[in-house]
Amino acid sequence: MRKHHIRFNQAQLRTEAIPYTAADYVRWFLWRLTLVALVAIGSVMVFDQYFESPKVRRQQRQIAFLEGQVSMMEGKVEGMSGALAELTERDESIYRNIFGAEPYPEHLRNPGIGGADRYRELRGLEQSEQVIVLREQIAALERRILAQGESFNQLMDLTENREELLKSIPAIQPVRNSDLKRMASGYGYRIHPIYKVRKMHWGMDFSAPTGTEIFATGDGEVVEVEKKYKGYGYHVKIRHGFGYETLYAHMSKILVRRGQRVERGEVIGLVGSTGTSVAPHLHYEVFKEGKRVNPAHYYFNDLSPEQYEQLLAASENANQSFD
């Protein structure tokens, strides 16, 4: 920097050197500092506008990667939900039917969760709604998988006891076809033979001669042996397990005792007409989980398809019962 500046002296009509003062030096410094600052600020603005720093580029790559991961997880969750839905359908429609299991309770299969907002910390952030929905789907999927596992545990218990289950189902007729005179009355509303009113008939009546053998229709334990002069008369009740029980009524003679174990096909008594009855016959009932069900649905061990259809047709005739 020069130490003086040139000025034209009009009075003397000549140039002369004027030394710089301290104020001149300050003004020169401030002017250059301002220029440098403006250049620097402009450079930064241009760089930010048209160029990205390495840190920003890393952050953007990371955001793009995370967004891709979220999208991929959404696809996987959707696929897993579809697979679980198919598995649940198979469980309810096939597996549980095979073993005679009740449907798995809906409130356990699809449990709801209430309470406070569990995703409060995520709200208000970029992509927060997408992440919240995904987490809710994953939580619901976890609950459904846990419930399906419990359902399969029940089926595994039945599978381990499958042989015992099959032996326990009341799967044969309690009277041989060759001994039957006819199917007197089936399950449903019938005309009572004594009171002559329409009344629910909870079992099936097999008309046969007095003394005809009566067979246990499944393996089990004799839990009731009664000899009455009204109602069921001489009758036996067998508990087969797995929710099944059977009742054999109006016998002329009982050949088993309470607490005795019996096998399918074993003779437990003889046909008669004891109790409230108008002719020799066997009144037969089937219970499932304590509720009376149509016995005709269980004769699949000793009947051909044609015989089974004929039995169903005969059992549905709205004729008069024998008891």
Distance CA 230, CA 133 (A): 67
As a whole number of angstroms, the distance between CA 214 and CA 275 comes to: 17
Q: Model confidence over 36-59: pLDDT tens digits?
A: 778 777 776 766 666 666 776 777
Residues with Cβ within 8 Å of residue 193, at least 6 apart in sequence: 278, 320, 321, 322, 323
pLDDT at residue 320, as a whole number: 47
pLDDT higher than threshold 60 for residue 292: yes
pLDDT confidence of 256, banded at 50, 70, 90? very high
Residue, of 312 and 257, whose pLDDT is higher: 257
Which of 230, 211, 217 is closest to 286 using CA atoms?
A: 217
- With contact defined as beta carbons under 8 Å apart, do 277 and 323 qualify? yes
Using an 8 Å Cβ cutoff, are 86 and 92 in contact? Answer: no
Share of the chain above pLDDT 70, in %: 66
CA 173 to chain centre: 35
Q: Which residues contact 182 (CB under 8 A, 6 or more apart)?
A: 207, 314
Can you say whether the dihedral through the CA atoms of 58, 61, 63, 69 is positive or negative? Answer: negative
Do 221 and 261 contact (CB within 8 A), yes or no?
Answer: yes
Digit-coded pLDDT (tens) for 82-135 = 877 777 777 776 666 656 667 777 777 776 665 556 656 656 566 667 777 777
pLDDT for the residue 60: 73
**204-207/182-185 β-pairing:** antiparallel
* Residue 206 host element (H or E): strand 204-207
pLDDT > 70? residue 310: no
- Count of alpha carbons within 13 Å of 55, Cβ hemisphere only? 1
| Highest mean pLDDT pick, 75-84, 179-188, 197-206, 259-268 | 259-268
Within 161-232, residue ranges assigned H as helices are 162-168
Mean pLDDT value across the chain: 76
Is the pLDDT at 275 greater than 50, yes or no?
yes
pTM beyond 0.75: no
Residue 158 has pLDDT above 70, yes or no: no
**Strand, helix or coil for residue 32:** helix
